[in-house]
Amino acid sequence: MTAAYPLFAQLLFVLDGTGPAGIDNRVRALHAADVDLAVARFLREVTVLAAPMTDLLQHGPAAAVWHPVRDPGHRVSWMEQPMP
């Protein structure tokens, strides 16, 4: 049985070694994987967030630096828990 923790993100990607365009490309690539039925189901059931390491170091992990894979143009705090 899987436990659900509604106050915490389920899967966080920390991206390093690239600039803003690279971060955007990687998040959009994760979003594009939604065409695969298994991936689409996973993304509906699990919140997946990605953030650049530089933003985490500068603003902290609780800041709105996380990009929801289902809404790549939006930024949230990992505690906001966007709807999967």
Residue 29 lies in a domain: yes
Residue 1 lies in a domain: no
Residue 60 lies in a domain: yes
Residue 76 lies in a domain: no
- Residue range(s) defining the domain that contains residue 38: 12-68
Residue 55 lies in a domain: yes
Amino acid letter, residue 67: H
User: pLDDT tens track of the chain, all 84 residues?
Assistant: 445 555 555 788 898 887 788 888 888 887 777 677 777 777 777 888 889 999 999 999 999 999 888 887 889 998 775 554
Question: How many structural domains compose the chain?
Answer: 1
- For 67-79, b where at least 16 C-beta lie within 10 A, e where not — what string? bbbbebeebbbbe
Cα Rg of the chain (Å, integer): 13
The model carries a pTM of: 0.74
Residue 22 lies in a domain: yes
